[in-house]
């Protein structure tokens, strides 16, 4: 979009610890993912051992 600057940050960690460290009224959107190793409708979610997201490019 011309003339629009989009700034974003990704935070990884315990949600309560991360949220306590953020300024009040500083969050516009939250995207979550269920904990690793849980089951849903009899199916297992993918399990990762690393806490870092893979980088592409």
pTM over 0.75, yes/no? no
Q: What is the pLDDT of residues 12-56, one digit of tens each?
A: 888 889 889 999 998 888 777 766 656 666 665 555 555 565 555
E-state strands within the chain = 39-40, 43-44
Q: What is the pLDDT at residue 23?
A: 92
């Amino acid at each position: 979009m011309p003339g629009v600057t989009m700034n974003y940050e990704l935070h990884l960690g315990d949600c309560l610890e991360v949220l306590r460290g953020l300024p009040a009224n500083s969050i516009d959107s939250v995207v979550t993912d269920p904990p690793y190793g849980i089951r849903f409708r009899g199916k297992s979610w993918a399990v990762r051992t690393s806490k870092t997201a893979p980088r592409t490019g």
